[in-house]
Structure 1
Amino acid sequence: MYQAAQLVGSNPFKALDHSFKNIDTFLDRGNFRPIGRAIENLERALVFDFGEATGLPPHAVNGAFRIILIALLAIVSCNVVSALLRSAGAVSAKHLPTVVLYPMVLAGVLVAGDHYSPMTSYMFVLTGSVIVILATGLCVARDRDMSARRLAWHEVVVMIGLGAVLATTYDLLYLAPPFSGAYVAARAAASGSTSKLLRLASLRRWLLLSVGFLTAFVPVRIEIFRRCRLSTCYSATDPDLTVDALGRTADRLVTGLPPAGWRYSADLLDRAGARTGHVALARNALLAILLVAVVFIAFTTARHLIRRASAREMAEVDWKRSAAALGALGVVTALMPSLLAGLSKRTQSVRPAIGEAWRETLLVQVGWSLVAAALLTVTFGLVGRSQFARVVVILAAGLLCGSMALTLLANARVTRADRITPLHAITSEMATAAIHFDPTPAGNVRRCGLVDSFTAIRPGTKNWVSGPNVGAELDGLMLDIHNARFCEPTNLRGGAVSPPEDAP
């Protein structure tokens, strides 16, 4: 809620104006994200507007958006796998066992891991960045681009423009051009046409994308380097080439593996002061229904594969080439964001625990899911014509069912641990109070109490003159909508106290 309140009202035009007016200020801090900040601010405005329209508090609206974004991530990731297998010779990849089981693989690796996971914090920017990275690869290397042809003029403009946008949106999107290049190479390798790589339209599209990216990226990084030599920059995006970066990179790489996330999530409730086992979690009606759904999905998927004898359908493709391409792409996809995080001064100083999610974790998890898809491809390729195919299908479905169930319970732990922390409880109440605004004196007293409670946890956030200033920000938000302050300061006797003249 505090982040949502940083906007002056919920006006999207003010959000855009705020983003582009402060470019120089953020350059001094060491990052350049004008488009990304505009999207982030628009997100906050939209979340509040949706809440106003539906009566749902912003944190509930965020939950709905989270489901939509994860669904989009699943669609894009499945298309990456399907397209690569089509390059390996599959006429239609939709019935191949790797493609059929891949959604379960992806669901099993998406462990939230912490409150700062891309799936729980800044989801539009972080989860959205992962979606854009994968979608950029699909855009650069479409089926018709995996052949030699001349590019149309509009393709040149679009690719160069897209590259420039990637360089000015968010740091994680710096990985979109290298991922796209790896994806072009992976599709070429899967098709056995690496000797023709230099003639492919997809390679030309990638080169144009890279030109547009570097045109915006290089001068900005030079300017940031110059400014950061004169003052301290934002540690999260400030790189530091040290030996310690290798260790931190390895930690971030392991963090993307499901067991690391499961283990870390298991300790969250204990640290939050509540002990809740898997059985207690499963007593929740919705969680119980979801666990039953996981088992049902695994059963019906295995039945579908056995009925179609789909393991034998791997004969349609060169499974050795496709497995190698999937595995190599997965390793590159997991390693790049891990290295980006490992080079961060923030990571090197804070040393987050293995399993503790951060902004790069979601993309690392997608990388590991591609490696798992490669292992499935090898397995079904080896047993596709044997009598053990059915047994392998059942074992694979059972293993993925268990992985999905453990991930579901781990994410439930993260959610519950988040809900019982005092700060989350207070901000949720503030969000609800902002949507369901009670104009009575009693309502004002409750809202002022929430601001006081927030300030007790986050000292320095209430001051009417200097920031961070949650009281003034919430007041500005409510004045735009209800023409009343979120909290009208009162004395102990309930009388109104006039705020300073420079208060908003």
Structure 2
Amino acid sequence: MGSNVAAPIVDVPMQVRTEPILVARPQVGGMWRRAVWRAVLVPLAVLSPIVALAPTADHRFNIYWHGGLFRNDPLRIVPDTVSSLPGYLRAGNFRPFGRIVEKLIDLASYLLADVFGIPANVAFRLVEMVCAVVLSLAVLLLAESVLSPGPMFRRPPSTVAALLPFVVGAGFVAAGRASPVVLFGGLYFTSSALVFAVAAVISRTRPDRRLRRRLLVPLLLAGAALASFNEIAYFALPLATVAAAVRGRYVLGVPWRRLAGGGSAKLLTVLWLGFLPVFVAVRVAIARDCAAGACYRGSDVHVSGAIATTLPERTVAWFPPLMWQSAVHGGSHRPWFAGMVLILALVVLAALAVHAARDLRRLSPVARHAAASLAVVAAVLVLLGAALGALNADVQQIVAAHRWGQGWRDTASTAPAGALLIAAAAHLMPPKRWLLTGLIGVLALGGTASATANKRFRDTVTNTPAARLDDRLAQAMADFDPTPAGQSRRCELRDEFFAMFRSTPFSLRRFDQAFDTASEQRAGQPFCPTKR
């Protein structure tokens, strides 16, 4: 006697567009190592001319102040930052995690100077260069995360990876004293790297992945932490949302409806739920306290008609040829694209360019829809960074003065995002290998020009009396002499500083605060025991 039994319904996983998993071959790991080495070496070559650039603005004091305070007790950074929150919030910014990172960077610079006996300004630039390398690697990570439909490290990196280090490196230009290459570079490069890394990780979350309950609280806290880092970190979740959406739809081929209920969407929802309450509460409090216009201009939001003219300029201000003009402005009348730095940078970058061109035939090709997805992600970050700059009164004045290409903190995100946009745009039409080879050569020349422009900027700054004094102060701390003769020399330096900056009492107070703290930590005595 027969019976009709219904077959059990099988829960079939969501189908996504993918590619065959490649068996790990020796050349796959080799290709990745070569791509990583290029991402490391190109920024170092471009930034090396400013390794001895004198500190400016707050850096003149913070390295010694934070180093002296936390050299023997690094954990003190956390309570020190928490105790300073109310004052900073009244001044118009809320960056507790960003300030912790800033203090750690200053402490690392101070330790490096202390251990190796080098001037603190050199140590600070070395740490900044490491942060620039981290940013370069984060850009590479996001590019490959978006482009690869399958396991990312089971195939060679894409041909985009051959271009990226050179165009990212060309963006590290000392385009004025407010440029992140010059001022707070370690902090803002790290912040931008965080944005790229968050977007990369979330974009790699499979649409069919389930969100485990035990991750809810950590994810809520992570979202709140992004809202408590700094203004650049605000970009992480918007960028991650766009990256997950375009990769899921156009690289993986997942329908919008399934994507909206998938694992990456649920992950982003929880992060946004942690981010928005902190962000909204902080911005409301800052808007209330800053309504009278007494807040710190560097982080104040200035809504005016100037935004309409500032925004378009900041969307292109990251372009290296524009920044070169800002870097060389006000220096010598001799041609800046010349000299030994030009030759050395050209040799190093040409060798790396040949290295990249030889790898092209073994790198993974990039489909047009994948390149378009990456271009959208990059364009979104360019617009976010440009909007941040356009809302600031100082940047509005920069644009009103027609100082095209001058760097500001937004450049730390728009320059690498613009680099990503250029590399993606080169793949919107199936490129020939010879065309990519020629483009690699052009971008290597751009990195050479950036290194040469950085050298001109350093020469211009070094010729100022303030920079020469800062260098001598750094050397006096590196070769700290506790004898009466050493005390006399340091007191002469202090007197020179006080005479130079007598019209700025704030700088005078910061000088004694910072250098006395570092001197007490290092030798148990004030910088100048016989202050006059």
Q: TM-score, normalised by structure 2?
A: 0.81
Deviation at 1:57, TM superposition (A): 1.7
Bigger Cα displacement from structure 2, 115-124 vs 83-92: 83-92
Residue among 498, 507, 511 paired with 1:470: 511
Q: Is the 8 A contact 1:191 1:321 kept in 2?
A: no
Alpha-carbon displacement from aligned partner over 1:84-132 (angstroms, at most 9, x marks no partner):
1113898955343222222222223332312322233212321110011
Q: Is the 8 A contact 1:88 1:190 kept in 2?
A: no
Residue number in structure 2 paired with 1:434: 477
Q: Is the 8 A contact 1:451 1:462 kept in 2?
A: no
Deviation at 1:241, TM superposition (A): 2.3
Q: Is the 8 A contact 2:336 2:453 kept in 1?
A: no
Give the Cα separation in 1 of the matches to 2:424 and 2:312: 21
Q: Is the 8 A contact 1:125 1:170 kept in 2?
A: no
Deviation at 1:334, TM superposition (A): 0.6
RMSD over aligned Cα atoms: 2.5
Give the Cα separation in 1 of the matches to 2:330 and 2:245: 41
Deviation at 1:460, TM superposition (A): 4.7
Deviation at 1:182, TM superposition (A): 1.5
Return the letter of the residue paired with 1:347. Answer: V
Residue number in structure 2 paired with 1:342: 390
Residue number in structure 2 paired with 1:422: 465
Return the letter of the residue paired with 1:340. Answer: L
Q: Is the 8 A contact 1:2 1:427 kept in 2?
A: no
Residue number in structure 1 paired with 2:240: 180
Return the letter of the residue paired with 2:357. Answer: A
Give the Cα separation in 1 of the matches to 2:330 and 2:246: 39
Report the number of matched residues.
Answer: 466
Once the two structures are superposed, the pairs formed by residues 41-52 of structure 1 within 5 Å of their partners are: 41-52=103-114
Residue among 304, 319, 327 paired with 2:359: 304
Deviation at 1:244, TM superposition (A): 0.8
Give the Cα separation in 1 of the matches to 2:68 and 2:158: 51
Residue among 355, 359, 373 paired with 2:405: 355
Alpha-carbon displacement from aligned partner over 1:216-243 (angstroms, at most 9, x marks no partner):
1111222222222256111222212222
Q: Is the 8 A contact 1:460 1:467 kept in 2?
A: no
Q: Is the 8 A contact 1:261 1:356 kept in 2?
A: yes
Call closer, same or farther: CA 1:348–1:105 in 2, change over 3 Å. closer
Deviation at 1:261, TM superposition (A): 0.9
Residue number in structure 2 paired with 1:396: 439
Q: Percent identity?
A: 25
Alignment partner of 1:127 is 2:210:
no
Q: Is the 8 A contact 2:502 2:508 kept in 1?
A: no
Q: Is the 8 A contact 2:166 2:444 kept in 1?
A: yes
Residue among 220, 225, 230 paired with 1:170: 230
Give the Cα separation in 1 of the matches to 2:406 and 2:393: 17
Q: Is the 8 A contact 1:115 1:414 kept in 2?
A: no
Call closer, same or farther: CA 1:19–1:347 in 2, change over 3 Å. same
Give the Cα separation in 1 of the matches to 2:134 and 2:467: 27
Deviation at 1:488, TM superposition (A): 2.6
Give the Cα separation in 2 of the matches to 1:417 and 1:152: 56
Residue among 345, 359, 366 paired with 1:290: 345
Q: Is the 8 A contact 1:28 1:233 kept in 2?
A: yes
Residue among 301, 307, 313 paired with 1:251: 313
Residue number in structure 1 paired with 2:43: none
Alpha-carbon displacement from aligned partner over 1:188-214 (angstroms, at most 9, x marks no partner):
233232423212211111111111111
Residue among 190, 199, 203 paired with 2:251: 190
Give the Cα separation in 1 of the matches to 2:468 and 2:284: 43
Call closer, same or farther: CA 1:431–1:301 in 2, change over 3 Å. same
Return the letter of the residue paired with 1:426. Answer: L
Once the two structures are superposed, the pairs formed by residues 36-435 of structure 1 within 5 Å of their partners are: 36-87=98-149, 94-142=156-204, 145-188=205-248, 189-195=250-256, 196-230=258-292, 232-270=294-332, 275=334, 277-280=336-339, 283-284=340-341, 288-306=343-361, 308=362, 314=365, 319-351=367-399, 353-379=403-429, 381=430, 383=431, 389-435=432-478
Q: TM-score, normalised by structure 1?
A: 0.86
Deviation at 1:356, TM superposition (A): 1.0
Alpha-carbon displacement from aligned partner over 1:296-350 (angstroms, at most 9, x marks no partner):
12123223325x4x5xx53xx5x22112111111111111011011011232245
Call closer, same or farther: CA 1:298–1:46 in 2, change over 3 Å. closer
Call closer, same or farther: CA 1:93–1:115 in 2, change over 3 Å. farther
Call closer, same or farther: CA 1:91–1:164 in 2, change over 3 Å. closer
Alignment partner of 1:5 is 2:59:
no
Alignment partner of 1:30 is 2:80:
no
Give the Cα separation in 1 of the matches to 2:151 and 2:222: 30
